[in-house]
Chains A and B, each alone.
Chain A
Amino acid sequence: MLSRTAENLFWLSRYVERAENMARLIDVAMRMSSLPHGPVDGPDEWHSAIVAAGCERSFYAKHERASAETVIDHLARDLDNPSSILACLETARQNGRSVRTALTVDMWEAVNATWLEMRRLSKDEFTPARVGRVLDRVKERSLLFGGAVAATMLRSDAYWFSRLGTFVERADNTARILDVKFHVLLPQAEPVGGSIDYYQWTAILRSVSALRAYHWVYRDRIKPWLVAELLILRPEMPRSLMSCLGEISRQLEVLGQAYGTRGECHRLAGELEARLRFGRIDAIFQTGLHEFLTDFIDKSTVLGDEIGRHYLF
């Protein structure tokens, strides 16, 4: 298979996934900002969403301060921000378009129709009051794309590269969403473990569609370290880092067997997976959750690069 085809499939899936996760990130910021506020000294939820999205530089080049309006516009609509939802969908479509014949009709339809629909939306659809509908739609279309990949694609290397893109991006994005909590400071008089803290963790769970899963797994009230454990270490949670790394390792292994070659990307994926498989949440909290997540995000970037290097993207 041409490296360019693999590269385009990989990035097609990554950008669809990124669009979905950007929607989830905005969602979590909206939920947090709707919580009752005391006096807050530090940056608020909207700033934290920008930081977690890794869009600080592009955002503050354009806007003076983070507000619901400016952040939603930047993360959802602004085509100058390559990670905005619309930019992701456009890039996804461009990647799909140049390997059109490697896609199934359903995959192409999912990507093409989404882009055509989204680019027609007026600016009014992105106001804080209305953007919820758009975010739901983006998640829905991304799930449709994932379904099309799962249900219609031949299980050849094209499929494995598509899936790799999805899970490399998803791992990165789950880590970012979890990290939002670090950047959002509690109001001064609020204790850790108090009700605001509780609602913030709940918001994170909701944004990754994991609130119910949490209750099923733990049958307990919301506790920060359990939320973190669910999203980092639990293999049965489909957006957890563990779950994503498990998928990545498996896909790389299939490719490794098919091609008879393995490289740094295989080793690194194995290392990351092992750290998660044998990791303990109390140990992670001891070294610092934020430090752990930052390190993970850096390593997953390297992993993405190494995959590209090994398969000559």
Chain B
Amino acid sequence: MTTSAFDEMGERAAPRPAYAGVADWLASLAPEVLAAKRDEAELLFRRTGITFAVYTEGGDPERLIPFDIIPRILDAHEWSVLERGLIQRVRALNAFIADVYGPQEFIRAGKIPPALVLHNPGFAAEMVGLNVAQGIYTHIAGIDMVRVGPEEFYVLEDNCRTPSGVSYMLENREATLRLFPDLIRRHRIRPVSHYPEELLGTLRSVAPPSATANPTVVLLTPGSYNSAYYEHSFLADEMGVELVEGADLIVEDLVVFMRTTRGRQRVDVIYRRIDDAFLDPLAFRPDSALGVPGLMAAYRAGNVTLANAVGAGIADDKAVYTYVPAMVRFFLGEEPILKNVPTFRCSEADERGEVLDRLHELVVKDVHGSGGYGMLVGPHATKAERLAFAEKIKAAPDRYIAQPTLSLSTCPTFVENGVAPRHVDLRPFVLAGRDIRIVPGGLTRVALREGSLVVNSSQGGGTKDTWVLDG
């Protein structure tokens, strides 16, 4: 499969222009130098990595996500199209979520089956009729993109809940800056290090109207045992805001306060990295010890902003995903710039029939699943697995969608036996507040095993620094 995939660098002899510098550089380096640099990178990351590992108790320290030293590059034109498309998509997603919890015009207009929204586990009745600040529900959206050709990008999925990984984007750039200052100097790369500042600006711009001119933002974490705790503390530090746990916050008279040594201090915006279900034991899971009793009440009263909003996950559903192009047309009156992967809805009889016939060449996904769980990769599955999955589809067709297996683009990657192409994806982070901002690039994930299309870190994926070239 690797051979037929689009390689972003192209032929060594005649690389695509964006990669010319890197191709030269790769050609000039002996494999031992690359190996030495990789070891150095590992050392660098081990130092940061110590911070990762510290937070796991006993047993093996948390495995670090491997960093590939060869950057992934997008040229100015490619990025400008993506950027416009991402802004458009996130505007539409926010408009959709606002509509779902508001007038429901998209449903009324027959653009989406009512049950898909109203009976969706991601639909939160707790949000109905609430006017959130600036009408924004997904303040930090991670849009997963794949590429199959020079001009062909597809959105694989939208992460409107609490996308993570942005700390890798920032740390990867730091690593490249230290390892290859010369290489960086030979390119004009758009910086990413201002992300925390942009994030803080976005969060402050969605403070509730009752907040003062200088709203207090906090980052709410489940605590130091959470696997993403490093990212939480990293972002809180970089933004200069308090990293709070549920027990640090109290709600009194429908206002949220944090307990500080100077007394109680009002909190206006909570960047929460806790799932909806654990936010408030009085509204959701009563056994949640992570949450803040009364938080939803304060939220409903309009005295605090939660970022991302409760119920934003309705847009992450893989069946709802298929309606995103329609959302762009309906809410913005524009043609979608970014394409969806062609998707079969198993809920519809004719499409289901086709899925069942072509199971050997399709990827079937659970609409509520994430992280590669509950998935069938047709071409890699045995006949028995396909038959078993077909039964699952027939039993609960609403739960599944199917997509063709895409031939993801590859990037040169330094692996055991030298530099070789490996499949990559891209997660840009889109910040939505009073306006929409995107730090150029995002997190590139790479499938380190030859031929593998699975970029998930839990399944042997690594990450790359992602460059967007200027002009």
Contact = CB atoms under 8 A, between A and B. Distances in A.
B54 A3 contact: no
A2 B224 contact: no
A6 B248 CA distance: 12
Interface in A232-288: 255, 259, 261
Given A1-B261, A3-B261, A312-B260, A97 B224 contact: yes
B247 A4 contact: yes
A11 B269 CA distance: 30
Contact of B258 (A2, A6, A261): A2
| Interface secondary structure of B, over-half rule | mixed
Interface residues of A, number: 18
A2 B246 CA distance: 12
Interface string A51-94: 00000000000000000000000000000000000000000000
B245 interface: yes
B233 A6 contact: no
B357 to A, nearest CB: 55
Contacts of B237: 101
A311 to B, nearest CB: 4
A306 interface: no
A101 B260 contact: no
A89 B258 CA distance: 29
A100 interface: yes
A261 B261 CA distance: 10
A1 to B, nearest CB: 5
Nearest to A119: B58
A157 B262 CA distance: 10
B333 interface: no
A1 B258 CA distance: 10
Contacts of B224: 97-98, 100
B261 A311 contact: yes
Given A2-B248, A4-B248, A100 B263 contact: no
A101 B261 contact: no
Contact of B263 (A112, A157, A312): A312
30 contacts: A1-B260, A1-B261, A1-B262, A2-B244, A2-B258, A2-B261, A3-B259, A3-B260, A4-B244, A4-B248, A6-B261, A97-B55, A98-B223, A100-B51, A100-B55, A100-B224, A101-B237, A108-B54, A112-B54, A157-B261, A161-B261, A255-B261, A259-B261, A259-B262, A261-B262, A261-B263, A311-B261, A312-B260, A312-B261, A312-B264
CB-CB nearest 4 A-B residue pairs: A3-B259, A311-B261, A312-B259, A6-B261
Interface of B: 51, 54-55, 223-224, 233, 236-237, 242-245, 247-248, 258-264
